[in-house]
């Protein structure tokens, strides 16, 4: 299953100072986190996101976003 078949955003809670590696190739077996699958695909390196504050990231799970890899609400549009 592709991470984009989830149909809605993945919610990732991050803490200030923490670095999270978010999949951008769409082939991770542990979405939305990078598992190194991009090495076998030419579709993108992971996003290295370092949190500047405690927050929740909304990562695209439908593949329709215009702001990859983050969700822009496109899953709600028809």
Q: What is this structure's pTM?
A: 0.84
Q: Which residue has the higher pLDDT, 19 or 4?
A: 19
Please tell me the distance from the alpha carbon of residue 9 to that of residue 2, in angstroms, as a whole number: 13
| pLDDT given at position 78 | 62
When pLDDT is averaged across residues 42-58 and rounded to a whole number, the result is: 91
22 and 16 in contact (C-beta within 8 Å)? no
The whole-number average pLDDT for the span 36-63 is: 89
pLDDT for the residue 40:
78
8 Å CB contact between 27 and 38:
yes
Q: How far is CA 36 from the centre of its chain?
A: 13
Residue ranges covered by each domain of the chain: 3-76
Mean pLDDT, rounded, of the chain: 90
**Whole-number Å distance between alpha carbons of 40 and 53:** 33
């Amino acid at each position: 299953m592709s991470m984009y078949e989830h149909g809605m955003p993945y919610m990732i809670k991050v803490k200030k100072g923490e670095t999270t590696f978010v999949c951008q190739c769409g082939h991770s077996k542990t979405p939305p986190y990078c598992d190194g699958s991009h090495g076998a695909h030419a579709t993108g390196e992971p996003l290295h996101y370092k949190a500047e504050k405690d927050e929740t990231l909304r990562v695209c799970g439908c593949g329709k976003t215009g702001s990859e890899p983050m969700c822009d609400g496109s899953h709600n549009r028809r």
